[in-house]
Amino acid sequence: MVRERMTIEKQVSYSIDQTKLYTADEVAKLLKVNASLIRRYCRQGRLGKYLYGRWLISPDELERFKAVPRKVGNPDFGPGYNKK
């Protein structure tokens, strides 16, 4: 039983390697942002899946994510911010 499970896991990891999946670090370099931001988006469910001990993002999911407009900067400290 244990030997069968190990064989299945090896087959699954091999099939996943054949399709290009990006790590959080690779996506961060592509988007020119910090890797911790990408991991935060992953934890929030906005991007990627947690597989094999790391966050993995498919190219299709990355393209959908890039298509959504986002604000730049911290909204709490932007123009018009009144510090009390």
pLDDT tops 70 at residue 37: yes
* Dist. CA 73–CA 84, nearest whole Å: 20
pLDDT tops 90 at residue 65: no
Long-range contacts of 74-80 (CB under 8 A, 24+ apart): none
Q: Is 47 helix (H, G, I), strand (E, B) or coil?
A: coil
Question: What whole-number percentage of the chain has pLDDT above 70?
Answer: 61
Extents of the domains making up the chain: 21-65
What pTM was computed for the model?
A: 0.61
Q: Which two tokens stand for residue 36?
A: 């911790």
* Dist. CA 57–CA 35, nearest whole Å: 13
Report which of 65, 66, 47, 45 is spatially closest to residue 56, judged by C-alpha positions: 47
